[in-house]
Each structure stands twice: as C-alpha cells, then as structure tokens.
Structure 1
C-alpha cells in the first residue's frame, strides 16, 4: 500500500480545556484509531504503521498538544512535511479565556503551562505557542458555548462518514424468568400475548420459525402493539442521535425468551433498521436455555 492509498489522518490539537478529550472519544466512537498525547516526532512512525496495517487502520487520529513540552514546537514543521502524499487534516479546538478559566477551576487542576503563575498566565503562554498551529489548521472549532455532549455532536457532524450510523441499537430478546437484562435502556413485555409454548406443534420451535411468528402476530393486539412501539421509538432514537448517545438496548421479554420475545425482536429489528442513522443488531439472550 502506498501513502496515497492509506487512510485519513487527523491531528487533534488546540487549547487545554477546549475539549480535546471529548473530541477524541467521539472520534473513537466513530471508528477512528485514536492516540492521545503523542509527541509530534512520533507522527511519522504512526503513519508508517497505519500504511502497513492497511484496511485495519483506515482512519487515524492523534491528539498532539503542549503536554509534549518542548517537543511540541516541532508540530508545524512536521505537519507540513506529512501533508505530502497523505490525506491529513488538523483540527484545532479553541475557547475564550474566561471559559477556559472556569473549566480549569471546575476540575481543580492547574494549567500545564501555569508554573508558578496564574491560570491566565498559563493560558496566555499556550496561546502564544499555538499561534502558528492555529493559523495553519484545516478546521477550527470554538467550544466556548458547548458542553461535552454538544461538542461530541459537532465532532460527529464533522467526521461521520456520509450514510454511516450515528447510533447502534441492540434489540435483545430475553425471558423474564431468567431476570431483566441489566443493560436494557427500554423494556417491552410480550406476555400479554398467548404463549406458543402451550401449543403442541409450536412448543419445540422458536420465534425464528415461521410457524411461531405467524402464530404470535396472528394474535389480537400483536401487530397493533408493534406498529405503536416502532412509532414510539422513532423520536427516542432520533433524540439519542441528537444527544450523541452512541448505543442503546431495547429488551423484549416473554416468559422463557424462546417464542414471543424472539419473534417480536426479529420483526422490531427489521423495521427499525430502516430508520436513518441507526444500525441495528439482534441478540437473543436466553434462546437455547432449557
């Protein structure tokens, strides 16, 4: 693989307290390989590694900042050299001085360049060191008016691949007699429908079988419930995307987790997979238990 064929590279830098960690976490959730607190001199070996890794490291992000001490001064020169032959961008995160002061005071940590001075002294020193980097940045994001959730959403908006999922939904069937799933965000109870377990021809089958599925959705209220539940979940899942909640689990239960819940989970997943920005996976927790 040549450098031109290698994947995208993003350098995340900017003011301390402006949200580098939040941005890095959001990028990681999008599937980027993220390295934090990397000295600029290690960027070339990282890019070489990404080329050798081929498709397993299609997108690499490196957080580079003044924690690298005197090594950080080399960032503009190294970045310029690396731009030749690679799709490389620099994201600079910034915020106003008063906002940065409040953020540092809220976590009760000193600024990395504060030394024996005040918070503002450290902020001013950092601005001076970052001036050249800011001028050459491809993207500048001012986070002064953003909380961590809003910033994460902005990062997703900037770097999510067109058409890629912004939320991963797990639809999980389970049996109430084995306990509620501890990681469920929402729970649907299908025990209001007759149990196929008591139908001799269906007892040994599961909700994946057509005969069970037809029986479950042939019961009064079954399709009406499914229609209404899908409609109720649509604004919830859209809201999760707006709030940058990357994962959620909808648990669908019946008595043993074999018939009604399995059939409903499969159909629910099929319908929800059509929603924009949502990737759906199905898990049958208790299928196969005695």
Structure 2
C-alpha cells in the first residue's frame, strides 16, 4: 500500500482509498462513506500498452484518466459530495471515500489523487487529506472476461 498525505493546519478530516475490486479482500476495504466505481465510467489506461504497467501516480496515466470525457466533472462532483458529507459529521470524525476500478493501479489511483487535491484545496489547507492506494503495487491483472 502507498499513502499520500496532504497536510493541513488541522487534523486529517478525510481518507480516500483506491482499490482494485478484482483483488481478494478488496470488498472488505469498503467499510463506510462514499463509494465510487469507475469500471464503466472511465476508459481503462491498462488497455493502452504504453500505459499498462504504469500507475495513476505517473503523470502520463494521470493525464490520460483526467482527459477521459466526463472525468473532470466526476471528480468535481465527488469532491463536492465528500465536502458536504464532512460538514455533516461530528467534529473529529473522518469522512471516507473508496474509489474502485478493476485492478486498483490506474483509474482509481488517479481519481483518488485528483479528488483529494480538489478537496484539500476547497478546505484551503485547513484540514489534512490522506489517500491510501491499496493495490497500486500489485501486478497488472489479466483482462476481465
């Protein structure tokens, strides 16, 4: 697992996790909060041989995912929903978002990072955001049947 921290003046207020739903135990990581499944919403960078073995943390994959029609709007809407949820939970409680795709290396990683940056920016750096990438280091999965 790899973790990204966007530090804030206050405590971490949101945890965003990326997962690959085809990995054993992935569904056990979905515990509470919002759930976003990208398998049918965004094109899969793993279908491009030049991007297959990279991850959403790499600039080329990140740009590819964000260039998918509708991706930026999806990121904005998700960040707004997460921010609204954060306003409703008691102080000191974390809001959570799980972003899923097939293998957890490309789409979910890029979108989790983009939502985290947008949320952190909307909070003006007042609160921290933690991003957990649970399957980014796992091998690329064979194509789904």
Same fold (TM over 0.5): yes
Distance 1:217 1:246 in 2: 30
The residue aligned with 1:164 is 10
Deviation at 1:206, TM superposition (A): 0.2
Give the greater-gyration-radius structure (CA): 1
Q: How many residues align?
A: 125
Q: List runs of 5+ in structure 2 lacking aligned partners.
A: 1-8, 140-145
Per the alignment, residue 6 of structure 2 pairs with: none
Q: Secondary structure at 2:22's aligned position in 1?
A: helix
Residue 184 of structure 1, CA deviation: 3.7
Quick one: distance in 1 between partners of 2:84 and 2:116?
Answer: 16
User: 1:173 and 1:259 mapped to 2: Cα distance?
Assistant: 10
- Partner residue, 1:255: 102
- Aligned in 2, Cα 1:196/1:168: closer, same or farther, shift over 3 Å? same
Q: Answer yes or no: is 1:207 the counterpart of 2:56.
A: yes
CA RMSD of aligned residues (A): 1.6
Q: Within 5 A, what are the aligned runs for 1:37-56?
A: none
| Structure 2 SS opposite 1:177 | coil
- Whether 2:25 is the aligned partner of 1:176: answer no
More RCO (CA 8 Å, sep 6+): 2
Superposition pairs for residues 193-204 of structure 1, below 5 Å?
193-204=42-53
TM-score normalised per structure 1: 0.41
Equivalents in 1 of 2:68, 2:10: separation in Å?
Answer: 37
Where does 1:29-68 land on structure 2 (aligned, <5 Å)? none
Measured in 2, the distance between the counterparts of 1:234 and 1:248 equals 9
- Other structure's SS at 2:79 match: helix
Structure 1 stretch displaced more, 176-185 or 204-213: 176-185
Which SS does the other structure have where 1:193 is aligned?
coil
**SS state of the match for residue 174, structure 1?**
strand
Q: Which has the higher helix share?
A: 1
The match for 2:117 among 270, 276, 289 is: 270
Distance in 2 (CA, whole Å) between partners of 1:247 and 1:177 is 26
Map residues 205-244 of structure 1 onto 2, 5 A cutoff. Answer: 205-240=54-89, 243-244=90-91
Taking the aligned partners of 1:266 and 1:170, their CA distance within structure 2 comes to 11
Q: Distance in 1 between matches of 2:80 and 2:33?
A: 17
Counterpart Cα distance in 2 of 1:234 and 1:170: 12
Aligned residue runs from structure 1 range 74-153, under 5 A: none
